[in-house]
Structure 1
């Protein structure tokens, strides 16, 4: 039995080859055979579309999507009878997901029993022979493929008293009419992943960023936020004068930017701390919470209780450690802390990765409400259908370059997909 869990378990300090063979290192008489390990690693990585990666490189250099593929490869290169995949495509682009689906069909024909756990209903309906639905830890039933429509599945997954439409059936509201600028990026460089990128974001606009895994989407947001130091370019926030790229996230937050990263466990939360402590973190440099410990604790708990109610965070109390929450509830805590901090521009990297239908719909509602309040929203997602259903406009990153921009709501998915590959075919 092999399992690929929703939360990544890649060993960041080891090489790609070592991660692949950590449970069965090739050896001769107990002595590690590195030549054999790296040769076989190249073959496995190529089989999963990662052939351009150096097996000697450490896993910490990979993006979340590439780490996900690495972990899947590490758990499937050996023969297995039962394979459990928990949200395997949460961080993958359409292209990488399709490659995984091909592998799943191959494993199925090899006689492997596959338990596929996902909130992406189109995937479930396309891949599964039988579909079982859980809600609040209870089995709602099992059906053969084709017996349920998507709306029926959604209804059985969520509270019967609340109707939640799939994102594919929801068109975005009219594009933001505001001419006020929220953010302007000019000739931003973070080589090789971000190359001469320029775009503008209006107040009240939801701008999506599409692209393949490794195209530079995450690196673009990190460069804007100062998490990675850009080597060139300029930024302009609202009506402030243009400035050099931020040197660190503190500068970005003070300028009015907030960021929800794609890896909430590594970059977004203190897992051993309470819900209340995590929500107050971005506010510690402001006078209201940080002056006296007693006042900070009281205000922090009242604040956390408000967000637990408004965002439907399921917990025993606001003293509960964030690490014990589900992925969806952890994401809500990340949202809560940045909503409380507030800002002019919200950078969101895969904000719905690995969360259930109800939590995803709540995230969409929060994003739309922020746009109505005049915030500029920059959203990175590997789910093109999500971007089409949510965004006023979509920009495309391909091989480190901003290759195209599209205005909604009447998008042409084929044109967007072509732009996603354009940077790789250019001379």
Structure 2
């Protein structure tokens, strides 16, 4: 007989008439790693917020049974006391406090009502050892990389005697080494008897680590796949998530016909005065009309720095070298110069730099090109509505209306809005920095289809991606960066993952 640590039975949740969860059933066995998967907007995070008390008892229908007892969590602290901890993609740490202060924030070690800092530091060291993090607990959080901060979050959860650990997209912002270290830690925690629920869009990750995976689609439970029965395979997962077969994750273009060079840089370098070093070193690169040029490389290889230096240099690097647009030398001193020259840049950080999360779809779509919908400095509201509806429809942004707040959209739909914002400026060259980061396989397919359509209409694309499959599946030609320089250039016919990694690690 199965020993379920968690059963969520008939969970339904609505937001102003929109049904986010509809009679969801979700069961997790004690001591397993159970992945929760589905497209953006499927209801995964909403279900976990119900479980953790973010959405309190009474705001949803259904029952939560934890360790055999029906629970009524009215706030997050109630679920924490029961032994449930959730770690979100956006880490909830205090950057100016130390590691040990963060681990025990809200759970202070005290005697007689007074915090015992010496004992706190000793216990923090024990928690750090559990997550295999060898550092001084007095280190400020802001001095740590994202991978180590993620481990501090887990140490914080372990300090509360967690029985069920929930991780929401834990590797989304990590490089491959940090991701593998985190997954290995989860395996070790499983051996120690800690049950894990992990939300992830990375199918290879799910296949490598999950004992079982439950699929949600449109707020409903579709199925639970069992690794021991051979059910956790990519094509089965994809079909369950999107409700259809995706025979080829990377859609083929009808034609690959290239025009003249639209962009060329020669001996291009960028010096970052804040870091005190060169971040881009003597790069030679070109892009033809109708071409997707992939830029691969490890984290810190200079890919984003190169993109920013080409897009009007918003970070105020000291630039040298030559840039030519359609064969004509240019100097782009500001992002507005780049926009007027026909270049657009979709940032890798859509939440931090790409979108106004507290504003609606309409305002975001028009933000980069207000001049085209204004007369004498006054925005034409009717024209803004027309433009917003046009891009919402053409990009298939799933939202009730253009008045929807962007922060409430799924990651895939946020990315479409970010893309639409820059399409409205009418670029000839689009720089896409991690265009599918943090979005599910169905939304990825839609983004790829949009990219192909733009190429067939004569646009050119530079695509920066950490996913080698994406680089190989979508590019016509690949540049590989290492330590700020171009380590190699590969026509797509000759490129493979091994060659790219050899160049990236030179």
Once the two structures are superposed, the pairs formed by residues 223-242 of structure 1 within 5 Å of their partners are 223-225=309-311, 226-239=313-326, 241-242=328-329
Q: Distance in 2 between matches of 1:264 and 1:12?
A: 21
Seen in structure 2, the aligned counterparts of structure 1 residues 154 and 290 have a Cα distance that, compared at 3 Å, is farther
Aligned equivalent of 1:305: 389
Once the two structures are superposed, the pairs formed by residues 92-131 of structure 1 within 5 Å of their partners are 92-131=174-213
Seen in structure 2, the aligned counterparts of structure 1 residues 238 and 337 have a Cα distance that, compared at 3 Å, is same
Whose RCO is larger (CA < 8 A, sep 6+)?
A: 1
Aligned equivalent of 1:425: none
**Correspondence for 1:338 among 422, 431, 438:** 422
The answer on 1:75 being equivalent to 2:158 is no
Give the superposition deviation at 1:418.
1.8
Once the two structures are superposed, the pairs formed by residues 319-398 of structure 1 within 5 Å of their partners are 319-398=403-482
Aligned equivalent of 1:272: 358
Q: Distance in 2 between matches of 1:177 and 1:5?
A: 43
The answer on 1:404 being equivalent to 2:488 is yes
**Correspondence for 2:220 among 138, 147, 172:** 138
More strand by share: 2
Q: Distance in 1 between matches of 2:298 and 2:350?
A: 20
Once the two structures are superposed, the pairs formed by residues 80-229 of structure 1 within 5 Å of their partners are 80-145=162-227, 146-160=230-244, 163-167=245-249, 177-184=258-265, 186-191=267-272, 192=277, 194-198=279-283, 199-225=285-311, 226-229=313-316
Q: Which structure 1 residue ranges, 5 or more long, are not aligned? A: 423-427
- Other structure's SS at 1:378 match: strand
- Which has the larger displacement, 316-325 or 212-221? 212-221
Aligned equivalent of 1:3: 86
Seen in structure 2, the aligned counterparts of structure 1 residues 143 and 404 have a Cα distance that, compared at 3 Å, is same
Q: How many residues align?
A: 407
Q: Distance in 2 between matches of 1:232 and 1:14?
A: 36
Aligned equivalent of 2:337: 251
Give the superposition deviation at 1:266.
1.0
Q: Distance in 1 between matches of 2:327 and 2:116?
A: 61
Give the superposition deviation at 1:415.
1.8
Give CA deviations for 1:247-282 in whole Å, capped at 9, x if unaligned. 432222222211111111110111111100110001
Give the superposition deviation at 1:364.
0.7
Seen in structure 2, the aligned counterparts of structure 1 residues 57 and 118 have a Cα distance that, compared at 3 Å, is closer
Give the superposition deviation at 1:290.
4.9
Seen in structure 2, the aligned counterparts of structure 1 residues 105 and 31 have a Cα distance that, compared at 3 Å, is closer
More helix by share: 1
Seen in structure 2, the aligned counterparts of structure 1 residues 375 and 131 have a Cα distance that, compared at 3 Å, is same
The answer to whether the 8 A contact 1:91-1:350 is kept is no
- Other structure's SS at 1:58 match: helix
Q: Distance in 1 between matches of 2:116 and 2:278?
A: 38
Q: Which structure 2 residue ranges, 5 or more long, are not aligned? A: 1-83
TM-align CA RMSD: 3.4
The answer to whether the 8 A contact 2:280-2:306 is kept is no
Give CA deviations for 1:130-170 in whole Å, capped at 9, x if unaligned. 1111111111011211225322221221144xx43353x76
**Correspondence for 2:374 among 284, 289, 299:** 289
Structure ID, larger Rg = 2
Q: Distance in 1 between matches of 2:341 and 2:406?
A: 28
Seen in structure 2, the aligned counterparts of structure 1 residues 343 and 108 have a Cα distance that, compared at 3 Å, is same
Q: Distance in 1 between matches of 2:295 and 2:499?
A: 14
Give the superposition deviation at 1:117.
1.2
Seen in structure 2, the aligned counterparts of structure 1 residues 139 and 235 have a Cα distance that, compared at 3 Å, is farther
The answer to whether the 8 A contact 1:283-1:289 is kept is no
Give CA deviations for 1:22-56 in whole Å, capped at 9, x if unaligned. 556789964867x959x969x78x956x98xx945
The answer to whether the 8 A contact 2:93-2:153 is kept is no
The answer to whether the 8 A contact 1:131-1:142 is kept is yes
- Other structure's SS at 2:461 match: strand
State TM-score, norm by structure 1: 0.83
